């Protein structure tokens, strides 16, 4: 069994995917691993860019349709065995030996089911991606209100993003970011991976909640990865509709909490 499977789901990521994968290959040398890429029927040159990287550590799965984020990761989780799985977005960059560092940390603390590190912008500024359980109010303010009005609710937003922790110590996360999830394989298998009823968005809130029912989702403040973070759901009406649909499914599943 491999130490680690890096699971990447791609869709039209030709501009960024090569450097993303190369950064993993460059910095991950001390454990046995494979990078499994599930491509959701990209219409650009994403597959060609991946195939141009010469490495035996890369496996590509080509889909005939776009079945969604969780579906893509589940094809990897269900068909490949490893001690740990890293759910990894195409818009991330590894900058050092953080993957091995997280592996060693998980080896030392059996109570942790999933761990995610500090996430930064390319400038080095922290992205506050650890969150409380979502409410209708918090999602509405973040998605639909103009920035000038959002500022009136800054205290609530700071609470929702758990800024009071300082992001400088380990803590349990109710709602962890789906862009980087380092999972213990036994935990991920026990919760049956992602709920595929989420096509995109909110699947990370759901899987975090199910993980915390049997283990712990933990924030790791001692190292970081770089996140380019193109927030498509704020730019596209289609993406906004997908987000609303996912939110409705989430609240129907876990209960409608309005504030």
Q: How far apart are CA 157 and CA 115, in angstroms?
A: 23
- What does the chain come to in residues? 259
Query: Is residue 256 domain-resident?
Result: no
Does residue 91 contact residue 13 with C-beta atoms inside 8 Å? yes
Residue 22 inside a domain? The answer is yes
Does 138 have pLDDT greater than 90?
A: yes
Residue 253 belongs to a domain: no
Q: What is the pLDDT of residues 6-45, one digit of tens each?
A: 999 999 999 999 999 999 999 999 999 999 999 999 999 9
How far is Cα of residue 115 from the mean position of the Cα atoms in its chain? 11
pLDDT in tens, 141-178: 998 888 899 999 999 999 999 999 999 999 999 999 99
What is the pLDDT at residue 143?
86
Per-residue pLDDT of 176-233, as tens digits, reads: 999 999 999 999 999 999 999 999 999 999 999 999 999 999 999 999 999 997 555 4
pLDDT of residue 237: 85
Residue 258 within any structural domain of the chain: no
Domain assignment present for 248: no
Task: From 95, 104, 131, select the one nearest 219 (Cα to Cα).
Answer: 131
Task: Examine residue 147 and state whether it is found in any structural domain, yes or no.
Answer: no
Q: Which pLDDT belongs to residue 233?
A: 47
Confidence of residue 235 (pLDDT cuts 50, 70, 90): low
**Residue 136: band (very low, low, confident or very high) from pLDDT cuts 50, 70, 90:** very high
244 Cβ contact partners less than 8 Å away, ≥ 6 residues apart: none
pLDDT of residue 236: 76
What CATH number is given to the structural domain containing 101?
3.90.550.10
144 or 51: which leads in pLDDT: 51
DSSP calls for 7-58 = EEEESS-TTTHHHHHHHHHHH--SS-EEEEEEE---SSSHHHHHHTS--TTE
The model carries a pTM of: 0.95
Domain coverage including residue 190: 2-133+167-231
Total of domains in the chain? 1
Confidence check: pLDDT of 234 > 60:
no
Q: Is residue 206 part of a domain?
A: yes
What's the CA gap between 238 and 242, in Å, rounded? 6
3-state secondary structure 155-187: HHHHHHCCHHHCCCCCEECCECCCCEEEEEHHH
Look at residue 60 and tell me if it is in a domain.
Answer: yes
The C-alpha atoms of residue 152 and residue 155 are separated, in whole angstroms, by 8
Cα gap 99→200, rounded to integer Å:
25
């Amino acid at each position: 069994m491999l130490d680690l499977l890096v699971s990447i789901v791609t869709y039209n990521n030709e501009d960024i995917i090569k450097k993303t994968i190369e950064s993993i290959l460059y910095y991950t040398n001390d454990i046995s691993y494979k990078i499994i890429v599930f491509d959701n029927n990209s219409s650009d040159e994403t597959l060609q860019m991946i195939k141009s990287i010469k490495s035996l550590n890369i496996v590509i799965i080509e889909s005939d349709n776009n079945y969604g984020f969780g579906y893509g990761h589940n094809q990897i989780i269900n068909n490949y065995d490893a001690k740990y799985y890293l759910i990894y977005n195409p818009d991330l960059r590894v900058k050092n030996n953080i993957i091995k560092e997280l592996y060693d940390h998980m080896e030392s603390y059996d109570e942790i089911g999933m761990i995610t590190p500090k996430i930064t912008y390319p400038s080095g500024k922290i992205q506050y991606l650890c969150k409380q359980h979502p409410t209708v109010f918090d999602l509405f303010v973040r998605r639909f209100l103009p920035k000038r009005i959002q500022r009136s609710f800054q205290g609530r937003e700071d609470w929702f993003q758990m800024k009071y922790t300082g992001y400088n110590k380990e803590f349990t996360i109710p709602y962890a970011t789906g862009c980087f999830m380092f999972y213990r394989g036994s935990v991920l298998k026990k919760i049956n991976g992602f709920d595929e009823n989420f096509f995109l968005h909110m699947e990370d809130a759901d899987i975090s909640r199910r993980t915390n029912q049997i283990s712990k989702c933990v924030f790791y403040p001692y190292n970081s990865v770089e996140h380019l973070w193109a927030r498509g759901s704020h730019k596209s009406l289609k993406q906004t509709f997908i987000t609303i649909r996912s939110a409705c499914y989430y609240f129907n599943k876990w209960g409608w909490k309005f504030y």
